[in-house]
Amino acid sequence: MKDADWEQLVAVVRGEALRPLPTGFIIDSPWLPRWAGQRIFDYFASEQRWLEANLLAHRTFPDTWLLPGFWAEYGMCTEPSAFGSVGVWEPDEFPFARPVFTTIEAADRLERPDVRRHGLLPFVIQRLAQQQAAIEREGHRIRFAVARGPLNVASFLLGTTEFLTALKTEPERTHRLLGTITDFLVDWIGYQRERFPSIDGVLVLDDLMGFISRKDFVAFGLPYLRRCFPDDVAVRFFHNDAPCKACAPHLAEAGVNLLNFGVQHTLAEMREWTSGAITLLGNLPPRDVLAEASPAAVAAGVRALLDGVPDHTRLIPSCGGGMPPGVPTANLRAFIDAVRDWSA
């Protein structure tokens, strides 16, 4: 993000009102490569293609916030790879990480990886370091440390069904597993901040937090998520586009001050459940409207969304979750223009 955009984002998170309302979208590999005319594997494999795609998005949509900005990611494979997960790659499909363990008992052997040396993590850092000068020549800075969350990583290492079963049947082992993963994530976030001092935000993505009850979130989600958000960063950004009702009342306690959520709940409901303390990034239906509807329908959806909440502080209109595959330029432009025209 550019300096002026970052300052505005921080102001919105503090509760200041901006007019017109800002817009923002999480963009990464499900949308960006194909929108830029690239194969997904080429986007991951080529630093130059990765940079070109990100620059094209920022130049095409200079009047919205593209978050986290120049995300050097390898799909869901980045963090699991440090624990030995095998990443499976296809020419133009999203990669996936194979489980490392088949039972929670086997996960007792888990060791904390070295974030400077293991898996794909050094490639993430190197990509950003090698392209940092080009990013900054465009007026942008690296603003966010990014990590998949503790439950998300655990589900990739063990398998989603196996992990959720273990959470109920082997709680002590599950806590040990989450403790090791969180120690690693704290190291990983800290290392990103060490290498890029311009970072003043942390983005944690963990849809598994929405798969569990409020009681289980308090026990197995809250303490580990809280450790991922340092108090001394300005923006503590959490993405969970699974149902958020169970965890929402506790997210401020976890340190979250910016939330991207899905379409299962309304903006008004999320405002109530978070007591108005967290800035909301959402929540037009991403696939059925933003990706597949006409520009006119997108604009109508935006107006209905904004009409549904009387208080527009701590609000960044977006879609419900990250940018989905297939969103065309015309639809994204219709969204941005509709918010501007409605709120000017």
Give the total residue count for the chain.
344
Residues 6+ apart with CB under 8 A from 33: 39, 40, 42, 43, 49, 53
For residues 274 and 200, what is the distance between their CA atoms, to the nearest angstrom? 23
pTM of the entire structure?
Answer: 0.97
208 DSSP assignment: G
* Distance between first and last Cα of the chain: 23
Strand-by-strand arrangement of the 315-319 sheet: 144-148, 201-205, 235-240, 258-261, 279-284, 315-319
Please report, for residues 130, 177, 212, the alpha-carbon distance to residue 102 in angstroms, rounded to integers and kept in the order given: 38, 14, 21
Percent of the chain with pLDDT over 90: 97
If one counts the domains in the chain, the total is: 1
For residues 289 and 121, what is the distance between their CA atoms, to the nearest angstrom? 35
pLDDT tens readout for residues 76-129: 999 999 999 999 999 999 999 999 998 999 888 899 999 999 999 999 999 999
Range of the domain at 103: 3-343
- How much is the pLDDT for 265? 95
Tell me the CATH number at 223.
Answer: 3.20.20.210
- How much is the pLDDT for 185? 98
231 DSSP assignment: T
Residues 6+ apart with CB under 8 A from 42: 33, 49
Q: Is the pLDDT of residue 211 over 90?
A: yes
What confidence category does residue 290 fall into, taking pLDDT thresholds of 50, 70 and 90? very high
Note if the bond before 68 is cis, omega within 30 degrees. Answer: yes
What confidence category does residue 344 fall into, taking pLDDT thresholds of 50, 70 and 90? confident
